[in-house]
A and B are shown apart, each in its own frame.
Chain A
């Protein structure tokens, strides 16, 4: 895996796009180049480059409404992309969706089921569709472990039960890739642990990969080794989690004077305030520390600056801060 950060161009023309070739030895099971989607004249996602290497758990991060679910639907061929190309397991998902879903498991955010069916009835249908690939015994074991009654109607299942049922069905079809869209949101701690454990076990086997869309940093910290951070419909940064974390610093600035309780501070662009009190502020920023320290000293009555590594949460906060410049969410430029 690459240690360097890939910074894709947000709206760069094809000719200027950064090299998305995979590093030597890295096999990508999912790849998108210049992906874009617009509804009417509004671009929801634009210029998104994304790669999910084999053997990785890649987190798709971003604030609410930034286009994570839209991106996943485009990646899976469930939504036509307005621009860009997508390849999943070497297949065009739009043209060969059925074949792709025979090798890919998907747990959607809405957790749709066949409501009128029972748990075992639903499993029977999924098993019939997947054929011998589906592990019926494995499903029964997982069902028992997740305490899902075989005769329960899907319409009566709770949110957590639905998530576990969907994960069980997806896992027992032996997919090569698992795509999970906000799978743990709304789940209690125990169910979440079960869920994350199952994902970790899945990816432990050779040749598998997971793409996990979430805004729960704790989940990311526990099981993800890579992340794609979306900001305003495009990938702001992508790479290994530790590299991303290392790129962001936390500055505790002690002040000689007293700051007003509110109001703008005139901080340089890219600096995000995470704590503020009258005699000190804590900010996070990505980039060269010397540059930011000089900028902070110019903007504030600084007594002293202390720099520490940012936590993952602070890194996420910093990297998902919306741009002040017009982004893909604005009017379509094409």
Chain B
């Protein structure tokens, strides 16, 4: 065997010596980053790949593989000797590269630094070269095939974890490359020993193709299993997110977004809490955010944080239906219109309002033209009516189920703003009865049921952007939290427009549209997340709490952002324990 090994060493000498020479040439002829890049490519991509190709293909093309197959040699040993000789010649190139391709910022250029992180790249390229060499019976086809095999296998193996598990590619790529490199060499080993490489035959290619397919299938199966496992296993480690938790009108159902960094990346889930039974259910979808409960509390719309639609969840049957956003451009899901018989999604464009009916399996759209100066929309719960506002007044639009209107139409004026009021932002109350609007100098509340408008003696915080006013109505809609000038949140009586308590100071620019205040279900307490304070509406007392309030379960119990939801069992249903008092 030593004679064969010596022969292999001698045969591969041009490749083995050429590698270091190319690295030196790259360093000498190119400067700075270019030299480093070229040297890196030569050392860890080109030379390993070529040495891999040189293991079998040149011998096969010249008939040497056939000659060796007719000697009393075990083909497994023959292949092992070829691999060993190639690896022996690979070492000088990699060691030289480790010496020369040192990051200049790390210190001396001659610092001894074995580039362990480059080993997976070199191994993958070597494996791809070896496999290409076994598949093709001539050198040039093998050289062309090697990158295809390597890249194809890498993309095939990388796609499932990156796409499905959302594992960051830079983190998993080295592990995958290492595994793939080994797998490709192993597949080449089988294809060589079982594939009759000593004669012209498609057998090695068939074996290699099957092997790569099996490896990718294994990778896919592993990813799927890890995905299935991580969907459940990741939940106990997640914590309540610092955002408002929607509650049903009857207060029985509370929806809590939870999130956290796990080994699979950022995990975002939604927990549905039945306050009557204190049972919880984790909606079995990932990347879930911004949950929205239907007014009747029977359905839940969960948006995808990955910009690809969302899910419609039935809280009665616990069925989850994907809501595609393909027909509506843009990121995430737009506003939802809950109707008694289903859900419509609404999106406002510059001069149009588009709706998409999510009704059973089919989705039908409608489009209505609106004027250029049209501001935002508010959906009147339980109807197909949306309210819009512009500087002149408030209009109502009844959305058709299908069809489109090119001319501004289908609109009826509800009321005009009082003289001198130039609306720049507004927000509709949850019931759809009140519209709170602001201009540059103040707030105005319009009662859409016909009552007189109410002015508020406070100046708005003009730094809060958007067409939608950062206002938060208490559950009974008798009080409103509004962001004010100078950095603060005020609680106001809806009927009189007077302040209920002293101004709660917040850091400038902290108030967000969705989180001006979080109200307790009975409306007695309002938490101001931006100030980490809780306000008693009845007494006007402001208590500083060193926490981000996520939601009130009731006036005595708060779900605190950043705290974990502990679950007794993932299989038999989940029980919220710590924030609800030790259960």
Interface residues of A (CB under 8 A from B): 73, 76, 78-80, 97-102, 106, 108, 110, 112-117, 124-126, 128-130
* In the bound complex, CA of A256 to CA of B4 (Å): 73
* In the bound complex, CA of A100 to CA of B69 (Å): 12
Tell me if A112 and B72 are in contact (CB < 8 A): no
Which residue in chain B gives the minimum CB-CB distance to A128?
A: B3
Partner of B73, one of A76, A98, A112: A98
- How many Å from the CB of A176 to the closest CB on chain B? 13
Tell me if B199 and A78 are in contact (CB < 8 A): yes
Tell me if B3 and A115 are in contact (CB < 8 A): no
Given contacts A78-B196, A129-B73, contact A110 B63 (CB under 8 A): yes
* In the bound complex, CA of A116 to CA of B64 (Å): 9
Partner of B72, one of A110, A117, A130: A130
Please provide the 6 A-B residue pairs with the shortest distance between their CB atoms, ordered closest to farther: A112-B63, A102-B72, A128-B3, A101-B72, A112-B66, A112-B67
* In the bound complex, CA of A96 to CA of B114 (Å): 43
Tell me if B199 and A99 are in contact (CB < 8 A): no
- How many Å from the CB of B15 to the closest CB on chain A? 14
Q: Point out the residues of chain B lying under 8 angstroms from A79, CB to CB.
A: 196, 199
Tell me if B3 and A98 are in contact (CB < 8 A): no
A-B contact pairs, 13 of them (CB 8 A): A98-B73, A100-B72, A101-B70, A101-B73, A110-B66, A112-B66, A112-B67, A113-B67, A116-B10, A116-B11, A128-B3, A129-B4, A130-B71
Q: Point out the residues of chain B lying under 8 angstroms from A99, CB to CB.
A: 72
- How many Å from the CB of B81 to the closest CB on chain A? 12
Tell me if A125 and B3 are in contact (CB < 8 A): yes
Q: Which of B462-509 contact A (CB under 8 A)?
A: none
B269 within 8 A of A: no
Tell me if B70 and A108 are in contact (CB < 8 A): yes
Tell me if B198 and A115 are in contact (CB < 8 A): no
* In the bound complex, CA of A76 to CA of B69 (Å): 10
Given contacts A73-B199, A78-B199, contact A114 B72 (CB under 8 A): no
Tell me if B7 and A125 are in contact (CB < 8 A): yes
Which residue in chain B gives the minimum CB-CB distance to A122?
A: B67
B296 within 8 A of A: no
Q: Point out the residues of chain B lying under 8 angstroms from A124, CB to CB.
A: 3
B419 within 8 A of A: no
Partner of B74, one of A98, A106, A114: A98
B217 within 8 A of A: no
Q: Mark B61-97, 1 if CB is under 8 A from A, else 0.
A: 0111011111111110000000000000000000000
Tell me if A78 and B2 are in contact (CB < 8 A): no
Tell me if B72 and A128 are in contact (CB < 8 A): no
Q: Point out the residues of chain A lying under 8 angstroms from B3, CB to CB.
A: 124-125, 128-129
Which residue in chain A gives the minimum CB-CB distance to B71?
A: A129
Partner of A128, one of B2, B63, B199: B2
- How many Å from the CB of B215 to the closest CB on chain A? 24
Q: Point out the residues of chain A lying under 8 angstroms from B10, CB to CB.
A: 116
- How many Å from the CB of B400 to the closest CB on chain A? 62
* Given A113-B67, A115-B62; 15 other pairs, CB 8 A cutoff: A78-B69, A101-B70, A101-B73, A110-B63, A110-B66, A116-B62, A124-B3, A125-B4, A125-B7, A128-B2, A128-B4, A129-B1, A129-B3, A129-B73, A130-B71
- How many Å from the CB of B289 to the closest CB on chain A? 55
Q: Point out the residues of chain B lying under 8 angstroms from A102, CB to CB.
A: 72
Given contacts A78-B198, A99-B72, A129-B73, contact A108 B66 (CB under 8 A): yes
* In the bound complex, CA of A126 to CA of B63 (Å): 15
* In the bound complex, CA of A78 to CA of B66 (Å): 9
Q: Point out the residues of chain A lying under 8 angstroms from B69, CB to CB.
A: 78, 97
- How many Å from the CB of B226 to the closest CB on chain A? 38
Tell me if A106 and B70 are in contact (CB < 8 A): yes
Tell me if A114 and B73 are in contact (CB < 8 A): no
Q: Point out the residues of chain A lying under 8 angstroms from B11, CB to CB.
A: 116
Tell me if B7 and A117 are in contact (CB < 8 A): yes
Q: Point out the residues of chain B lying under 8 angstroms from A125, CB to CB.
A: 3-4, 7
Which residue in chain A gives the minimum CB-CB distance to B201?
A: A79
* In the bound complex, CA of A311 to CA of B2 (Å): 53
* In the bound complex, CA of A78 to CA of B558 (Å): 77
Tell me if A80 and B196 are in contact (CB < 8 A): yes
Tell me if B199 and A113 are in contact (CB < 8 A): no
Q: Mark B1-22, 1 if CB is under 8 A from A, else 0.
A: 1111001001100000000000
Q: Which of B179-210 contact A (CB under 8 A)?
A: 196, 198-199
Q: Point out the residues of chain B lying under 8 angstroms from A117, CB to CB.
A: 7
